[in-house]
């Protein structure tokens, strides 16, 4: 399943339904976890090809899921 990393980033508009807010938070966290899992599965060489190191995985995943 392909998910656009920016498609589930939380919006600044208030959510009227509390269940929608919970689903939005869960979906955003799932993007974070998926990104961490996929980047962690790469070899050090593969990460280097992307200009990343292992120590950068969580911050890159955070930026992908939560913006910033």
Domain range enclosing 58: 18-66
Q: How far apart are CA 20 and CA 62, in angstroms?
A: 21
Q: For residue 52, name the pLDDT band (cuts at 50, 70, 90).
A: very high
Model pTM score? 0.73
Residue 4 falls inside a structural domain: no
Q: Please check whether residue 61 is in contact with residue 32, taking contact to mean a CB–CB distance below 8 angstroms.
A: yes
Tally the domains of the chain.
1
Asked whether residue 6 is domain-assigned, the answer is: no
Residue 7 has pLDDT above 60, yes or no: no
* Per-residue pLDDT reduced to its tens digit, 19-48: 998 999 999 999 999 999 999 999 999 999
pLDDT digits (tens, 9 = 90+) for 53-63: 999 999 999 99
Residue 47 covered by a domain:
yes
């Amino acid at each position: 399943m392909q998910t656009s990393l920016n498609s589930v980033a939380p919006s600044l508009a208030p959510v009227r339904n509390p269940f929608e807010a919970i689903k939005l938070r869960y979906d955003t966290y799932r993007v974070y976890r998926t990104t961490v899992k996929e980047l962690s599965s790469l070899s050090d060489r593969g990460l280097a090809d992307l200009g990343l190191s292992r120590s950068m995985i969580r911050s890159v995943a955070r930026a992908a899921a939560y913006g910033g």
